[in-house]
Amino acid sequence: MSTATGFDSSRAAFWRGFLEGAPFVLGVAPFGLLFGILATEAGFDLLKVMSMSILVIAGAAQFTALAQMHDGAPVLIVLAASLAVNLRMAMYSASIAPHLGPAPLWQRALAAYILVDNTYSLGVARFEADPDMPTARKMAYYFGTAIPAWVVWYVATFSGAWFGTRIPPAFALDFAPAIIFLSLIAPMLRTLAHVAAALTSVVVALVLAFLPYSTGLLIAAVAAMVVGALVETGMERRR
């Protein structure tokens, strides 16, 4: 029995993960609903909207790709921008791999598919609190955290796409993604390095706004990472 968590079976671990992952649907539902609406307004039919959500299952990357495609950007630019937005997933994968690595290949493939912010944060916190939890129970807990948001994401996207065509043009929601991204980023600005990176990205993006297909955003992202790393390194040296 796992002394740190009290999990005595994979089933118990799954339901514990399910309960702890359930609150995240409060953020996932409006995000998915909005994506479905905006994708429909951009000319996507229901099949295309759902195909994108099922294949990509990454809100920020989907909004980025949608904006790029709406601007007529080449496929390579769309892919590059989407990958840049989701680079954090590579770090998530490296961090969680020691915990889920011993699992069968099909389970690891499914775990990679459902790797998002909430499954990573809940999973790593639980696994580090109980490093002796068997791999099967870790995987059960991880899948449990994913199911609520996973299902709601599909349902919300479908609902947004289904009802999107019924929203009058006077109630256009083009501004909503910017507000959502601001609400996600603001709580993350906890250190000087974070603030410096955010300000750098804003300034560089505005200066390079004239570049086609919003490629200035890619340059702004790289510049922000460099500045953030330099500021954090300087702070560490002072300490």
Of 154, 172, 176, the residue nearest 164 (C-alpha): 172
CB atoms inside a 10 Å sphere around CB 21 = 24
Angle, CA 67 vertex, CA 27 and CA 189 arms, to 5°: 50
pLDDT score recorded for residue 20: 94
Residue appearing with tokens 């993604």: 177
pLDDT score recorded for residue 2: 44
Domain boundaries, the chain: 10-170, 189-238
pLDDT score recorded for residue 1: 42
Whole-model pTM: value is 0.76
Query: Distance (Å, rounded) from C-alpha 103 to C-alpha 106?
Result: 8
pLDDT score recorded for residue 16: 95
Cα 22 off chain centre by? 16
Q: Is 167 left (phi over 0), alpha (psi -120 to 50) or beta?
A: beta
pLDDT score recorded for residue 93: 92
pLDDT along the chain (239 residues), means of 10: 56 94 88 88 88 88 84 85 82 91 94 91 91 93 95 93 70 61 66 88 90 81 87 86
CB atoms inside a 10 Å sphere around CB 218 = 19
pLDDT score recorded for residue 166: 66
List, as one string, the DSSP characters of 73-91.
Answer: --HHHHHHHHHHHTTHHHH
pLDDT score recorded for residue 4: 44
Query: Distance (Å, rounded) from C-alpha 45 to C-alpha 151?
Result: 21
pLDDT score recorded for residue 83: 84
